[in-house]
């Protein structure tokens, strides 16, 4: 079986019904058509059981989100870097409507990784009724899955109750998923034998996926490294290179800063892996940052003057272009520094881990990373 686990979700307090802006639509969203020559995609939907016993699972996901992102930072297919899109669901929480089968889409498939982190830190446990078949069915119908057969499309569902519960047959759900090229992987928070008995293994087999089992109560292994303080400093310096525009800009800047604090609040290790992720090609913010927007081909003329930040409103077009190029150069330099220091840190961490007697049980990030990387390689993604 696999040795590595997923991300590790988060906990904020939601005493009543969770209030997320992205609630599931009444009707399934249209599927995006693949464009010839478009960049390859890696789409991963994470379905977390947030019933009463799953606090450990959420915490593991929260702490290791950025480690998962970094796993795909070096991936390429046919010489092109992929577009990483993550989605997040919770299920098995009694604060969600029974009409929705106690399933809630929190974040749709998105490249905005700070939104995923923010949502993880708002999760809390409550209840409940864990309907795995329904959770998969919702993710299948509500997300904008690529129709390009060359793209990698994965569902990871994690929990600890029998997979057979609920009004929607898991066998129907997983067969429908694999029929559309979406691989379903199951992560049982318990023993291997219990996961087999409760049909977690069967569900993965029917959907060409991996059956994994983890210890959801195990603490994530942490290694404090000499490079942590420098990476935290460089991450803050890189924040200064973002040029927020439009109505989304102010909210996004605040979200970015908040997720820096959340990562630091978990551990210095978590902050360091977030810094590496922010410096990677997977961290894309073209819908609110002018540097990324320009990098992805959006012309400055397309940005209305009233959407520009205050320091740019008095500039002419040439001055605006020069200002964005200056910030882009500063960011590129910082990204290179972060990559160098992160590599030094990784070497230090691996050396320290070799000295420790490591627990053989897996955590969420370990399971997801090892499984997803293996499936990516089968789909001709190179690392």
Identify the residue with better confidence: 356 or 28.
Answer: 356
User: Among residues 221, 212, 96, 87, which one has the least CA distance to residue 159?
Assistant: 212
pLDDT at residue 214, as a whole number: 86
Instruction: Give the HSE-up count for residue 264: Cα atoms under 13 Å, Cβ half-sphere.
Output: 14
Q: Is residue 211 scored above 60 in pLDDT?
A: yes
**Cβ pair 124, 6 in contact under 8 A:** no
**Cβ pair 317, 325 in contact under 8 A:** no
pLDDT at residue 360, as a whole number: 60
Output the average pLDDT for the chain: 88
Helices and strands (H and E) in the chain: how many: 12, 7
SS3 313: coil
User: Among residues 118, 75, 99, which one has the least CA distance to residue 17?
Assistant: 99
Tell me which of 184-188, 215-219, 241-245 is least confident. 215-219
User: Among residues 307, 301, 291, 173, which one has the least CA distance to residue 240?
Assistant: 291
Token output for 289: 């940052």
Task: Return d(Cα 13, Cα 331) in angstroms, integer.
Answer: 35
**Cβ pair 107, 86 in contact under 8 A:** yes
Backbone φ, ψ for residue 55 (5° rounding): -60, -40
Confidence of residue 359 (pLDDT cuts 50, 70, 90): low
pLDDT at residue 220, as a whole number: 67
The length of the chain, given as a count of residues: 383
Token output for 304: 């209305």
* Torsional sign, CA 107, 110, 115, 121: positive
Reading across the β-sheet that carries 211-214, which strands appear in turn?
Answer: 103-110, 83-91, 41-49, 152-159, 183-189, 211-214
**Exposure string for 67-82, b = 16+ CB within 10 A, e = fewer:** bbbbbbbebebeeebb
User: Among residues 143, 189, 139, 132, which one has the least CA distance to residue 166?
Assistant: 132
pLDDT at residue 251, as a whole number: 95
User: Among residues 148, 165, 183, which one has the least CA distance to residue 378?
Assistant: 183
- Terminal C-alpha separation, the chain: 21
Instruction: Give the HSE-up count for residue 250: Cα atoms under 13 Å, Cβ half-sphere.
Output: 6
User: Among residues 365, 373, 376, which one has the least CA distance to residue 120?
Assistant: 365
26-80: per-residue pLDDT in tens? 334 344 444 545 799 999 999 999 998 888 889 889 988 998 999 999 899 999 9
Identify the residue with better confidence: 190 or 15.
Answer: 190
Confidence of residue 166 (pLDDT cuts 50, 70, 90): very high
266-299: per-residue pLDDT in tens? 999 999 999 999 999 999 999 999 999 999 998 8
Task: Return d(Cα 289, Cα 203) in angstroms, integer.
Answer: 41
**Cβ pair 77, 67 in contact under 8 A:** no
Which H/E stretch holds residue 183? strand 183-189
Q: Residue 183 pairs with which residues in a beta bridge?
A: 154
Task: Return d(Cα 317, Cα 312) in angstroms, integer.
Answer: 10
pLDDT at residue 219, as a whole number: 63
**Cβ pair 311, 322 in contact under 8 A:** no
pLDDT at residue 32, as a whole number: 40
Other beta carbons within 10 angstroms of residue 111's beta carbon come to: 18
Q: Cβ contacts of residue 14 below 8 Å, gap of 6+?
A: 95, 122, 123, 124, 126
Q: Is residue 362 scored above 90 in pLDDT?
A: no
* Whole-structure pTM value: 0.85
Other beta carbons within 10 angstroms of residue 218's beta carbon come to: 16
Q: Is residue 183 scored above 60 in pLDDT?
A: yes
**Cβ pair 267, 301 in contact under 8 A:** no
Confidence of residue 135 (pLDDT cuts 50, 70, 90): very high
């Amino acid at each position: 079986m696999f040795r590595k686990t997923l991300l590790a979700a988060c906990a904020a307090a939601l005493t009543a019904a969770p209030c997320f802006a992205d609630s599931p639509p009444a009707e399934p969203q249209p599927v995006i058509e693949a464009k010839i020559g478009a960049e390859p995609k890696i789409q991963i939907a994470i379905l977390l059981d947030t019933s009463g016993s799953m606090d450990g699972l959420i915490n593991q996901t929260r702490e290791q989100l950025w480690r998962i992102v970094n796993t795909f930072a070096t991936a390429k297919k046919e010489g092109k870097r992929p577009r990483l899109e993550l989605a997040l669901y919770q299920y098995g929480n009694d604060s969600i409507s029974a009409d929705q089968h106690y399933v809630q889409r929190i974040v749709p498939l998105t490249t905005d990784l700070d939104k995923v982190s923010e949502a993880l830190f708002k999760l809390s446990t409550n209840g409940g009724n864990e309907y795995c078949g329904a959770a998969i069915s919702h993710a299948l119908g509500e997300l904008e899955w690529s129709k390009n057969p060359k793209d990698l499309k994965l569902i990871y569902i994690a929990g600890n109750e029998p997979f057979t519960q609920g009004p929607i047959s898991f066998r129907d759900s997983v067969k429908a998923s694999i029929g559309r090229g979406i691989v379903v992987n199951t992560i049982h928070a318990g023993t291997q034998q219990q996961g087999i008995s409760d049909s977690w293994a069967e569900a993965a087999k029917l959907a060409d996926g991996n059956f994994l089992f983890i210890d959801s109560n195990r603490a994530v292994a942490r290694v404090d490294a000499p490079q942590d303080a420098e990476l935290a400093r460089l991450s803050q310096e890189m924040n200064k290179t973002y040029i927020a525009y439009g109505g989304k800009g102010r909210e996004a800047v605040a979200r970015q800063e908040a997720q820096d604090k959340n990562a630091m609040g978990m551990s210095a290790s978590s902050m360091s892996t977030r810094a590496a992720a922010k410096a990677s090609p997977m961290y894309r913010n073209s819908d609110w940052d002018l540097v990324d927007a320009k990098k992805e081909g959006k012309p400055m003329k397309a940005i209305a003057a009233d959407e520009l930040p205050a320091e740019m409103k008095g500039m002419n077009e040439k001055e605006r272009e020069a200002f964005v190029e200056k910030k882009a150069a500063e960011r590129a330099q910082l990204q290179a520094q972060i990559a160098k220091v992160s590599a030094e840190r990784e070497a230090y961490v691996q050396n320290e881990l070799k000295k420790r007697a490591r627990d053989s049980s897996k955590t969420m990030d370990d399971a997801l990373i090892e499984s997803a990387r293996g499936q990516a390689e089968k789909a001709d993604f190179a690392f």
